[in-house]
Amino acid sequence: MTDYTNDDNEARSLRAALADKLRDEGTVTDPDWHRIFTAVPRHPFVPRVFLPFPANDGRYHPLDGTRPENRTAWLRHVYQDDICITQLDGDDRAWETATREGEVKATEMTCTSSQPTLMATMLEELALSEGDRVLEVGTGTGYNAALICERVGANSVTSIDIDPVLVDQARAALGELGYAPTLAALDGALGLAETAPYTRVMATASFPVIPRAWIEQTSNGGLILANLTRPLGGGALARLTVRDGTAEGRFSARTAGFMPTRGKHAPAAQRLYQQITEEQENAATPEAVDVDLNTVLDTPDLRFFLALRSDVEELGVRYPDYPAERWLLASDGSWAFATSEGGCLTVQQGGDRRLFDEVLSLYREWVELGEPSRDSFGLTAAPDGDVIWHGSPTDGRRWPLL
């Protein structure tokens, strides 16, 4: 075992403090999960991490835990309640650049060890018990797989990831700790039929819909726990029970957000914004409005509802000596932005759709529903189409999942 993986007193003390924090804040309520977070080391899975610059401008600097002089700073980072970023832009050469130049610029994080609070939330929602067979979609660093192995036994755990390099690294780290689950490098949406059926499916990457393969590979009465990719985010964590080829259940009261699965995505908000010309922007007449877009987008339960019902992206834009703008953008080129200056709220809109009006209509619909919380909504993933519903899957309001 190499030096950086040593589970010394410093690592154990920091890990115990993290596990106690998760328990004391109410994230971990099951004593067995407290024991597991205390027992299973995180640091062997994240030997080298990228730290974002304070400006959050897409620059990162390296922290190499394999170097003895970095050990204390590295362990303190690993055992705080935060993500550990281990890959940028899917490019393993990024580490070489960062160590050579002291920093690296990247568009997106493509592998992280998720925030422990989120991991613990998901694991408790999964309601694991002896005899469960688990499919984890999104192996990543392998740390979450280790936690599951400790709970149900490695022979009952399958973990898959689209990146073969990550799978190999996770296999090595898991092996160092004595865990040998089934690991495979393939598209997570396919599941893994060879080790099915599963009683539990847990996705640690987000997907726009629940893949049919997961439902087909889950036994009747089994659970699927997954975060849906939505342009506005919203932290939509669905906990679904599988029966006769359909997965149905409510969204969790707790928020969750994982990186989208790799593949084809709609253009990001920044790219959509850059495509808008100054002439287009100036052609739209400012309109006085009485609803603050900031309030709408920053109300968590409302944002969750908007995320499920809308395909718009959002972007905040700031200029020196000019009021901040909140932009809404759509892939067809439609846009809207709102400003607030001196207590006056205005909006400008352009393109084929009036995006502010669409969001305002959904806001009013949410108010008419009684300003419901996220766990009053649910999802039915069926062969003939997916729908979200409010109240009850049979007699509540229903909408197709976009």
Same domain, 216 and 298: no
What's the pLDDT score for residue 341? 73
Same domain, 219 and 124: yes
What's the pLDDT score for residue 391? 94
Same domain, 163 and 45: no
Same domain, 107 and 124: no
Q: What domain range includes position 159?
A: 115-263+376-402
By CB atoms closer than 10 A (0-12, 13-18, 19+), residue 260 is middle
Same domain, 289 and 361: yes
Indicate if 252 belongs to the active site: no
The total of other beta-carbon atoms located within 10 Å of residue 290's CB is 6
pLDDT tens-place string over residues 141-180: 999 999 999 999 999 999 999 999 999 999 999 999 999 9
Which CATH number do you get for residue 224? 3.40.50.150
Query: Which residue positions in the chain have pLDDT lower than 50?
Result: 1-2, 263-266
- Torsion 215-217-231-299 (CA) sign: positive
- Whole-prediction pTM: 0.89
Which CATH number do you get for residue 328? 3.30.160
Same domain, 252 and 279: no
Same domain, 30 and 131: no
Pair 224, 380: CB distance under 8 Å: no
If DSSP codes are grouped into helix, strand and coil, which group holds residue 157?
A: strand
What's the pLDDT score for residue 277? 67
Same domain, 388 and 348: no
Q: What six digits make up the tokens of 318? A: 């700031």
**Using H for helix, E for strand and C for coil, what is the string for 58-85?**
CEEEEEECCCHHHHHHHHHHHCCCCCEE
Q: What six digits make up the tokens of 79? A: 């055992």
By CB atoms closer than 10 A (0-12, 13-18, 19+), residue 59 is middle
Same domain, 382 and 246: yes
Domain boundary among 113, 137, 167: 113
What's the pLDDT score for residue 264? 43
What's the pLDDT score for residue 265? 46
Pair 162, 185: CB distance under 8 Å: yes
Domain boundary among 65, 84, 113: 113
Pair 43, 11: CB distance under 8 Å: yes
Same domain, 131 and 96: no
Q: What six digits make up the tokens of 377? A: 């909504």
What's the pLDDT score for residue 1? 39
CA atoms of 269 and 235, how far apart (whole Å): 18
Number of domains into which the chain is organized: 3
Domain boundary among 64, 87, 113: 113
What's the pLDDT score for residue 243? 97
Same domain, 251 and 145: yes
Same domain, 123 and 248: yes
What's the pLDDT score for residue 262? 53
CA atoms within 13 Å, Cβ hemisphere of 113: 28
What's the pLDDT score for residue 279? 62
Which of the following is catalytic: 114, 159, 310, 376?
A: 114
For residue 227, the one-letter residue type is: N
CA atoms of 125 and 114, how far apart (whole Å): 16
